[in-house]
């Protein structure tokens, strides 16, 4: 099954990929922003973020964004927007995406972090099994 899963850095933009990402975003959150080709182009061309795509049997089925920046306390890396299509969950696609991002993060160096809602039980179990430790912190947000 592992050779039916392909993980790669997205380096191009087209409407088919935009549609595939929109489908995944709807499974990630009900409050997603409108995603279009301009947003995809911005992400793909950014020096500070990498969008990884997972394909299963030749179809887009998952994604993950790895972002990084320098701060006075060191390089920070964040895993964002991890989602695997519900039709193919349980096939270690999420694990493969995260491990792939960790390997790239090691090349950059720094502290790798992510957030996950408590209701995402399987995702939280995955992150702990890979070695992420839960931090005691509060996350705040403000819509601008």
For residue 62, which of 36, 38, 91 has the smallest C-alpha distance?
A: 91
Superfamily of 2-130 according to CATH: Gcn5-related N-acetyltransferase (GNAT) (3.40.630.30)
Query: How high is the pLDDT of residue 2?
Result: 62
Predicted TM-score (pTM) of the model is 0.92
Distance between CA atoms of 77 and 69, rounded to whole angstroms? 7
**Residue among 55, 51, 60 nearest 104 (CA):** 51
Q: 42 — phi, psi (to 5°)?
A: -60, -45
* Model pLDDT, residue 31: 73
Residue 144 pLDDT: 84
pLDDT at res. 1? 58
**So where are the chain's domains?**
2-130
Question: pLDDT means per 10 residues in the chain (144 residues)?
Answer: 86 97 91 87 97 96 98 97 96 97 97 93 95 93 88
Question: Cα torsion at 75, 80, 84, 90 (round to 10°)?
Answer: 50
Give dist(CA 102, CA 39) in Å, integer. Answer: 24
């Amino acid at each position: 099954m592992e050779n039916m899963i392909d993980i790669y850095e997205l380096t191009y933009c087209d409407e088919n990929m935009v549609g595939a990402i929109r489908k995944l975003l709807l499974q990630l959150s009900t409050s997603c922003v409108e995603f279009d080709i301009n947003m995809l182009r911005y992400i793909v061309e950014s020096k500070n973020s990498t969008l990884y795509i997972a394909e299963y049997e030749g179809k887009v089925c998952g994604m993950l964004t790895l972002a990084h920046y320098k701060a006075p306390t060191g390089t920070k890396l964040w895993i964002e927007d991890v989602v695997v299509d519900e039709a193919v969950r349980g096939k270690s696609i999420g694990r493969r995406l995260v491990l792939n991002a960790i390997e790239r993060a090691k090349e950059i160096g720094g502290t790798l972090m992510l957030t996950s809602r408590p209701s995402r039980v399987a995702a939280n179990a995955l992150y702990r099994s890979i070695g992420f430790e839960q931090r005691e912190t509060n996350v705040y947000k403000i819509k601008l």
